[in-house]
Every structure is written in structure tokens, then in C-alpha cells.
Amino acid sequence: MRRFTQSALAGLIISSVATPLLAANTVTFSESEKATITSHGPWPPKMTPDPSNRVSGNKSAIAFGRELFRSRFLSASRRHSCVTCHKPNRAYTDGLARSTGVSMVDRNTISLANLRLNRWYGWDGGSDNLWAQSIRPILDPREMNATPALIAKRLRNDAPFSRGYQAIFKSSPSVDDAGQIIVNLGKALAAYQETIVTPRTAFDEFRDALAKSDEQETSQYPVAARRGLKIFIGKGKCGLCHLGPNFTNGEFDDAGIPYFKASGGIDKGRFGGIQKLKKSPHTLLGRFNDNPRRASGIATRHVTRSHQSWGQFRVPSLRNVINTAPYMHDGSLPTLTDVVRHYSNLNEERLHLDGRGLLRRLDLTDPEIVDLVAFLETL
Ligand code: HEC
Ligand code: HEC
């Protein structure tokens, strides 16, 4: 009898606690919210070969590029490779705030995935195509510190790499000039990197189920993530910049991160990126673009520096973001909770708003922060 009373009492307590919990557990989305959520897919999207790179999608070039990516052949001291900073088992990053090759660079290593979806490359968009972006670290004195002449000489003297090169580019490195050789190696590296695509995630399953109104399937998606998603597309306004299947508009913005370099001085961000672009021989406007119509260079021709581009950085994709810590262009935020707290406590005066005002201090509660992070973790 006594036992019965106790368990009845326990049942009473559970049900009185369970009712409000249950209410909080049901997250529903309006038709317009559903449309927004659906716009973050489908995944993976169709990725076509890069018309500016004649070996894009070519199997031998992909294999050759993969070997180059892992080899120390491209660094002056033969001590560094692309893998030094882009480690395949760390989502092609290095886990450091600012990465180090020959010496420390100013920025955080970007994860290499879904690269065919980019319009611009690098935190500052200093390249308008993937092969140019792949040449940059080879020549940067702080990263691999090589020169086109050094790499050309090495290639001519290396029988296996030389044969690989000749088979793909149908010309011998002994007749090609150093400028052409470095571009071709960049194109093989690009062909390989284009094959790195992030897999489907719990979010993608939810998104597809929601599009089909499959309630059985949508209920598999964690409730905290659903609440976080509601904040992401709602009062967080995250989707204003992190939009579409790759969770980025592909352009540049100021998210209120200071832009001082560790070495002192200021990181000009997009402003500096446009300067680099205008000076580079390796853009879609130049002679190394293999697309005879050069149509893909229109954005580059029209891009102009403005005061607003100072201190702007590329809006990063949020796919696989759980695996790419630390965050932001300078790696200054160690965890996703730190990122969400940053947006929540945003110092609006620090922003270069110039009247756009997309970002506002959000003042999220602690449970809301937990939910938003739970959502980001499902990407
Ligand atoms: C010393 C570390 C280091 C090495 C070595 C390195 N990278 Fe990077 N990589 C970075 C950093 C840091 C960034 C961000 C650069 C920036 O925006 O200024 C980056 C960015 C990139 C990007 C741009 C991705 C995007 O989404 O815009 C590509 C592509 C890339 N690296 C490819 C390579 C290749 C190919 C190699 C080898 C030839 C290489 N990297 C070697 C550190 C490194
Ligand atoms: C006005 C455009 C804009 C809005 C709105 C915005 N972001 Fe960002 N986001 C950016 C930019 C730009 C960066 C890179 C900033 C930098 O490195 O200086 C960034 C970086 C991030 C990163 C770091 C990713 C990485 O790989 O380093 C995360 C995570 C993130 N945002 C999540 C969010 C969330 C969550 C929200 C909503 C609360 C949000 N963003 C709203 C533009 C925006």
C-alpha cells in the first residue's frame, strides 16, 4: 500500500513536470519558415567542372593533384606541404588560430570543401578562381616560400612528377615556361580539391523530410536543433548572410571581429583582397583562364574597392562547422558557443555599418544559445 502511494506520487510529479516540457518540445514551422528551411538544400548540389580550368574533372589530374597536395615538393625547404595546414583528418584545417608554415600567417586556415560553390577564394577574396588560390601558398614567403623558377627547375629534374605533368598537360615541363608550369600545377591541385565535398547531414535529412511533409522522418531531428533552427532563420537573422545550401551568400561582410594582426597593423580584409585581385596575372580576366569566352570573369571586372570593404571578410560556409574550430578569420573564437555569444553580445559600435545594419545585438538567453549551437552542430 505504502509502495503504491509512493509510485503514484512519483507519477504525479513526473506528469506535472512533463507537461510544460512537452509544450517546449513541439516546434512547428509556418509555411514561410518551411520555405526558408527548404532553401538551405538540396544537398549535395550539382557541381559542374570549372570552365576556367581545362583539367577540372580529369581523373589523372585529380590523382596528380592529390599527390602534389600531400608532397613537400612544392615548398622551398621541402619541409611543408598543403597538408601541413590542411589536414584531411581535421576537415582540412589545422586547429590553430593562425596557421604556421615557414612562419606564422595572419589568418585562420580555411577548411577545404565544396570549393566549386565559391565565387571568391580566401578570407579576403584575393582570388577569383581555385587554381590561383592554390598557387598563392606555394609562393607566400610565410607558407611554402617557393618561386615559379624553383618549382619549374625541380619539376624538370624529377622524372616521376615530370611524366605525370606531361601526361596531363600534353606538353613537357622542359618547353613550358615557369609561369605556365606553376599555373598548371595549380590547376591539378584545384582538380583534386574540387572532389572534396561534405557528406549529407542530419539537417539535410530533416530538410528533405520537411519538404515532403514526412512527419515520421522530421521527428528524428533533435528538438534542440529545431529550436535553434527557428532562431537561425528568425530572430537571429543568421540566414541573411549564411544562406542557401552552402550557408553563405559567397560575399563579404563585417561580423564585428576586430581586424588587428598578431604582428601589429591592420588586416584590410576585402579591401586588400580587391587590391590583390586587380594586380594578379592569375584571375579569370587573364591569359591563363581556359574558358575561351572568359564569361566567368564578369564579377572580377566589375568589382571595386569602397570604404565599406575595409575590414570585411568572406561569409564562411557553415557546413561541417563543428569540425573547423577555431572560428573567424583570425581564429579568435575557440568554440561555436563563443561564436554564438559573440553575436548575442555584439558591440554594434564596432561594426562598419554604413547604414546597412544587418547585424544587431541579439541578447539571447542561455538556453537559446545552447539551442542555436545544437542546430549548428547538425550541419
Ligand atoms: C602555412 C599554412 C598553409 C599552407 C602550407 C597551405 N595553406 Fe591553404 N590556407 C591557409 C590559410 C591561412 C588560408 C586562408 C588564407 C587567407 O584567406 O588569407 C588558406 C586558404 C586556402 C584556400 C581557400 C579556400 C576557400 O574556401 O577560399 C585554398 C583553396 C587553399 N588554402 C589551398 C591550399 C593548397 C592547395 C596548398 C598547398 C599548395 C595550401 N593551401 C597550403 C593556410 C595554408
Ligand atoms: C551580416 C552578415 C552575417 C550575419 C547576419 C551572420 N553572420 Fe556569421 N559570419 C559572417 C561573416 C562575415 C563571418 C566571418 C567574420 C570574420 O571572420 O571576421 C561570419 C562567421 C561566422 C561563423 C564562423 C565560421 C568559421 O568557419 O569561422 C559562424 C559559426 C557564424 N558566422 C554563425 C552565425 C550565426 C549563428 C548567425 C546568427 C546569429 C550569423 N552567423 C549571422 C557574416 C554574418
One domain for residues 74 and 92: yes
pLDDT value at residue 356: 57
Give the tens place of pLDDT for each residue, 7-44.
433 433 444 444 444 445 678 999 999 999 999 999 99
User: How far, in Å, is the centroid of ligand 1 from the Cα of 226?
Assistant: 34
Is residue 230 lining ligand 1, measured as CB closer than 6 Å?
A: no
DSSP state, residue 107: S
Residue 305 located in a structural domain: no
Residue 50 located in a structural domain: no
One domain for residues 207 and 88: no
Residue 275 located in a structural domain: no
Number of domains in the chain: 2
291-314: average pLDDT: 84
One domain for residues 164 and 67: yes
Is residue 109 lining ligand 1, measured as CB closer than 6 Å?
A: yes
Domain stop point among 193, 225, 243: 193
User: How far, in Å, is the centroid of ligand 2 from the Cα of 255?
Assistant: 6
Give the tens place of pLDDT for each residue, 112-138.
999 999 999 999 999 999 999 999 999
State the residue for C-alpha cell 589536414. 87
307 vs 114, residue with greater confidence: 114
Domain stop point among 193, 226, 251: 193
Average of per-residue pLDDT values in the chain: 90
Pocket test for ligand 2, best of 98, 328, 378 (most atoms within 8 A of CB): 328
CB 261 within 8 A of CB 267: yes
Instruction: Let me know if 281 is exposed, middle or buried by CB neighbors in 10 A (0-12, 13-18, 19+).
Output: exposed
Is residue 319 lining ligand 1, measured as CB closer than 6 Å?
A: no
Ligand nearest to the CA of 243: 2
CA distance 132 to 126: 9
One domain for residues 189 and 324: no
Is residue 324 lining ligand 1, measured as CB closer than 6 Å?
A: no
Q: What are the residues whose beta carbons fall under 8 Å from the beta carbon of 286, sequence distance 6 or more?
A: 280
pTM, 2 dp: 0.91
CB 274 within 8 A of CB 299: no
One domain for residues 222 and 182: no
Pocket test for ligand 2, best of 94, 242, 248, 322 (most atoms within 8 A of CB): 242
Beta strands in the chain (DSSP E): 252-253, 313-314
State the residue for C-alpha cell 598557387. 135
Residue 293 located in a structural domain: no
Any bridge partners for residue 333, and if so which? 327
Residue 322 located in a structural domain: yes
One domain for residues 143 and 249: no
One domain for residues 71 and 112: yes
pLDDT at 66 over 90: yes
Closest CA to 374 of 202, 224, 200: 224
CA distance 299 to 303: 6
Angle in degrees, 0-180, between the axes of helices 59-70 and 159-169, rounded to the nearest 10: 150
One domain for residues 131 and 240: no
CB 111 within 8 A of CB 97: no
| DSSP per-residue letters across 227-262 | HHHHHHHTTT-GGGTS-TTTT--SSEE--S---B-T
Angle in degrees, 0-180, between the axes of helices 148-156 and 178-193, rounded to the nearest 10: 80
One domain for residues 182 and 207: no
Residue whose CA lies nearest to ligand 1 atom number 12: 109
Domain interval for residue 220: 27-44+199-268+311-379
Residue 218 located in a structural domain: yes
One domain for residues 319 and 370: yes
Q: What are the residues whose beta carbons fall under 8 Å from the beta carbon of 134, sequence distance 6 or more?
A: 186, 189, 190, 193
One domain for residues 189 and 207: no
One domain for residues 233 and 341: yes
Residue 250 located in a structural domain: yes
Q: Which grid cell is 231? A: 532562431
User: How far, in Å, is the centroid of ligand 2 from the Cα of 234?
Assistant: 15
State the residue for C-alpha cell 598537360. 169
pLDDT value at residue 15: 40
Residue 14 located in a structural domain: no
Domain stop point among 193, 228, 257: 193
The domain that holds 72 is classified in CATH as 1.10.760.10
**Helical ranges in 244-345 per DSSP H:** 270-279, 298-302, 336-344
Pocket test for ligand 2, best of 243, 251, 318 (most atoms within 8 A of CB): 318
